[in-house]
Amino acid sequence: MSIARWTAVTLTLALAGAQTPPSSSQQPLPETVIRINVNLVQVDAVVTDSKGKPVTDLRKQDFVILQDGKPQSITNFSYISTRAPLTATQVAKASARKGMPAAPPPPAMRLKTRQVRRAIALVVDDLGLSFESVVRVRQAMKKWVDNDMQQGDVVAVIRTSAGMGALQQFTNDKRVLYAAIDRVRYNSLGRVGISSFAPLGGAAAAAGIDTTIPDEERERIFSVGSLGAIRYVVDGLREIPGRKSVVLFSENLRLLYSDGPNDLVMEEVQRLIDAANRSSVVIYSIDPRGLVYTGLTAADNTAGMGPRQLARVPMERSRQMFDSQDGMVMLAHDTGGLFMQNTNDIDGALRQVVEDGDGYYLIGYHPAAATFDEKTGRPKFHNLQVRVKRPGLQVRSRKGFFGTSDRAIAPVAHTRQAEIAHALFSPFSTGDLHLKLTTIYTQTPAKGAVINALLHFDPRELKFIDEPDDWHKAVIDTVAITFGAEGQQVDATDRTWTMRMKGKTYQNALAKGIVYSLHVPVKKPGPYQMRVVLRDATTEEVGSATQFIDVPDVSKGRLTLSGLVLAADSTPRTPKAADGLAHQEGQVEEDDPNGTPAVRIFKSGAAISYGYQILNARVDSEHKPELEVQTRIFRDGQVVYTGKPVDMQTDPKADPKRLLGGGRMQLGRISPGEYVLQVVVTDKLAKDKYRVAAQSQDFEIQ
């Protein structure tokens, strides 16, 4: 592969602390996880006035809380606000609307758990949506992510029919969310047809047969499947503090069938409600059908129908619609959420339910011992009711819980398979072992698209067994799985690694940490997600990490950048390999433990180098590309440095389909904190729509 000249562009950053004011994401929320145990029951409540506006000035004495109809003495009380100020992205959009040119969007910062202000799961029940509704839901989610997603939000887009694969992790990376939204499609195998009501057939209608009722047994099975998928999300949200929201888009979640309530569906609904209450999750449900016309249409064949039969059609269709909403109403009502219906403004409904969680009261009391008495067998469901004494106000809260303490819930089994599976399929990166995963997409002539994964971990968190002659041994399990867009497994590795070190090698490993490298060839372009689990076989402690990566389709000939390799550097240098990674798979030896591409922790005043591939550059009549490169640095979503656009000088013999660019940057007076470097490449010869490509990488200053 021909390589463009390594551009030694030296940029000095003079960033004073005053230039990067702390944002709301730096101010952690208090620990507000809902607790249900023998010592404390907590419930969150939203209070609004007659116009639906939140009321935030109430005190403990303004509330009454009842368990099974009996008043409880309130011992814990606080008001929690999760509203964040306008983000840099929203400011940029507002400026663009005023006629100012919009720059490439800022890259997402990796949020730590303490920085999460709102966790929002957008659950698309594609097993219970018509073709018409799927289109409206997809448009509404895209608009909300574009305009209303806030700094400090972590969001997941989940389809109830999908597996536990890619695009289901909670993230603040809009690339992941856009990719997930694009994958929302009508499911012809679901329990709803192309439209909400199937056209009447003349012969069937004349015979009194209702053709709009699907096979009920099949519908029950799909309903239980949808509820199970939502519960999976709710259980994962338990690990995040604060109030969480699940927004369910569905138009069919029946509880009543021709033979009455279905025990299996009802039990799954109650279990979901209990899990939501324990995880501090509020479920909002939106019926995207909007204002539904239930009368006769031109598509109906009414041949042979008498006046009475014609009059029955609107009533029967109205009854079906109300029955189809029973489950959605119950989930919202019993978890303190809202049920949105009869509105064609799906965008506004989504915005309203998400903003409903911006503030709430957290109320706790000490329950009676009998609440958790399980001697009678199956735990009893206890009803909860929260009231406000001030007239004219409305309160929404959770309606109950099972008399099972959180401590009594079965923990993950202490087996290798169970612990790894729990960490692998959790919607969040979790565990006692702290991992840092970096995935970098590159394109090679021989293998095509390749995902290079660098996993960094601290061996001081592992249990080393001392052996004779100063040897130290630790045994770890490493499991890595790459998922494709539809949740399918693309690649997997499962290895047990025995580390034996002594003397200086052992001390260096403890001081510098260990980097493990994996290379995963990718046959098909598209969004992928890599999940890695590390387990200490001795202590059984586990850690996990997840990263999203979008592998572009280079065959389309559009300008594309590979992943950005970022490392400490004291002098300009040329990478040893086309992808910037000269090592083989396995443990990586590094002289600088913090300045590696896997760690990216630098000191103020240090020099850093960065490299990337430029794919599919256009050329002029003399076979020369005309590329312009600009760098930007972000902190907390705000631009703190913008470099001047620089023309990229390329080797005349270089292949414009695969160029290697890069630069060197001197970090001057830069405050400690977390940053993101973004490289923006403009192809002056390409069409306007495809002339700009951007890539980013996060780093830290200590």
Per residue in 473-487, pLDDT (tens digit) is 999 998 888 887 766
Confidence of residue 140 (pLDDT cuts 50, 70, 90): very high
Q: What is the pLDDT of residue 113?
A: 64
CA distances from 205 to 191, 195, 307, 313, 556 (A): 21, 19, 12, 9, 52
Least confident of 27-36, 153-162, 187-196: 27-36
pLDDT at 168: 59
The secondary structure of 85-106 as a DSSP string is PPPHHHHHHHHHHTTPPPPPPP
* d(C-alpha 270, C-alpha 552), whole Å: 43
> By three-state DSSP, how is residue 358 classified?
helix
106 vs 176 pLDDT, higher one: 176
Q: Nearest 5°: CA angle at 565, between 560 and 566?
A: 135
| 440 pLDDT above the threshold of 50 | yes
Residue 378 pLDDT class (50, 70, 90 cuts): low
Q: What average pLDDT score do residues 654-677 get?
A: 86
For residue 467, what is the DSSP state?
E
Q: In which band, very low, low, confident or very high, does the pLDDT at 650 lie, cut at 50, 70 and 90?
A: confident
How high is the pLDDT of residue 22? 34
Nearest C-alpha neighbor of 563 from the set 583, 579, 575: 579
- Position 203 scores a pLDDT of 40
257 and 202 Cβ atoms separated by less than 8 Å: no
Nearest to 328 by CA among 229, 398, 247: 247
Whole-angstrom Cα distance, residue 303 to residue 578?
A: 72
Q: Is the pLDDT of residue 591 over 60?
A: no
- So what's the pLDDT on residue 38? 63
Instruction: Indicate if the pLDDT at residue 430 is higher than 70.
Output: no
Can you say whether the dihedral through the CA atoms of 615, 620, 621, 623 is positive or negative? negative
How many helices (H) and strands (E) are present in the chain, helices listed first?
Answer: 11, 35
Report the candidate in 457, 442, 448, 572 with the shortest Cα–Cα distance to residue 509: 457
State the DSSP string of 648-677: PP--TTS-TTEEEEEEEEEEEE--SEEEEE
- pLDDT band, residue 623 (cuts 50/70/90): confident
Give the residue, 463 or 6, on which the prediction is more confident: 463
Strand (E) or helix (H) holding 222: helix 216-237
Q: What is the average per-residue pLDDT within 561-575? A: 71
Residue 581 — pLDDT band, cuts 50, 70, 90? very low
Band of pLDDT at residue 58, cut at 50, 70 and 90? very high
Q: Domain ranges in the chain? A: 12-23+414-701, 30-83+362-408, 105-161+186-359
Mean pLDDT of 584-603: 66
Phi, psi for 327 (deg, rounded to 5): -65, -40
Q: What is the CATH number that goes with domain 12-23+414-701?
A: 2.60.40.10
Q: Which helix (H) or strand (E) element contains residue 71?
A: strand 70-72
For the ranges 108-112, 122-126, 206-210, 261-265, the lowest mean pLDDT is seen at 206-210
293: its two tokens: 């016309």
Q: What is the pLDDT of residues 60-116, one digit of tens each?
A: 999 999 999 999 999 999 998 876 554 444 444 544 444 333 456 666 666 666 677
**What are the structure tokens assigned to 674, written together?**
């977390």
pLDDT band at 572 (very low <50, low <70, confident <90, very high): very low
Q: Is the pLDDT of residue 180 over 60?
A: yes
Q: Give the C-alpha separation, 595 to 601, whole Å.
A: 6
Tokens of 175: 């690339």
Residue labelled with tokens 């009059």: 311
What is the DSSP code (8-state) at residue 391? T
pLDDT at 463 over 90: yes
pLDDT of residue 300: 61
The pLDDT of residue 128 = 83
The alpha carbon of 460 is separated from its chain's Cα centroid by a whole number of angstroms, namely 30
Instruction: Look up the CATH architecture of domain 105-161+186-359.
Output: 3-Layer(aba) Sandwich (3.40)
Q: What does the DSSP 8-state code read for residue 413?
A: P
Strand, coil or helix: what is 66? strand
Question: Cβ distance 613 to 627 under 8 Å?
Answer: no
Q: Which two tokens stand for residue 91?
A: 């400011």
Q: Residue 390: pLDDT band by 50, 70, 90 thresholds?
A: very high
- Residues 337-351 have a mean pLDDT of 91
Tell me what the mean pLDDT of segment 617-633 comes to: 90
Q: Span 123-135, mean pLDDT?
A: 87
| pLDDT confidence of residue 468 | 92
Please say whether the beta carbons of 442 and 563 come within 8 A: yes
Give the closest residue to 120 by CA, choosing from 273, 298, 8, 282.
Answer: 282
Dihedral pair phi/psi, residue 136, rounded to 5°: -65, -40
CB 126 within 8 A of CB 190: yes
Which pair of tokens denotes residue 543? 């850690």
Query: If pLDDT is split at 50, 70 and 90, which confidence band does 579 have?
Result: very low
> Which helix (H) or strand (E) segment is 324 a member of?
helix 307-324
Lowest-confidence pick of 200-204, 213-217, 226-230, 302-306: 200-204
Look at 38 and 537; give whichever has higher pLDDT. Answer: 537
424: number of Cβ within 10 Å: 17
Whether the per-residue pLDDT at 514 is higher than 70: the answer is yes
**pLDDT tens digits, residue range 143-160?**
999 888 887 788 888 888
Give me 687's structure tokens: 């069409």
Query: What would the two tokens of residue 18 be?
Result: 């005053």
- Domain 12-23+414-701 shares a fold with domain 105-161+186-359: no
Q: In this structure, are residues 513 and 192 in contact, taking their beta carbons and an 8 Å threshold?
A: no
Q: Cβ distance 694 to 614 under 8 Å?
A: no
Q: What's the pLDDT at 685?
A: 92
**What does pLDDT average to over the chain?**
77
Angle at 141 between CA 138 and CA 147, to 5 degrees: 140
pTM of the model: 0.70
The pLDDT > 70 percentage for the chain reads: 75
Closest alpha carbon to 699 in 109, 116, 19: 109
CA distance 402 to 186: 36
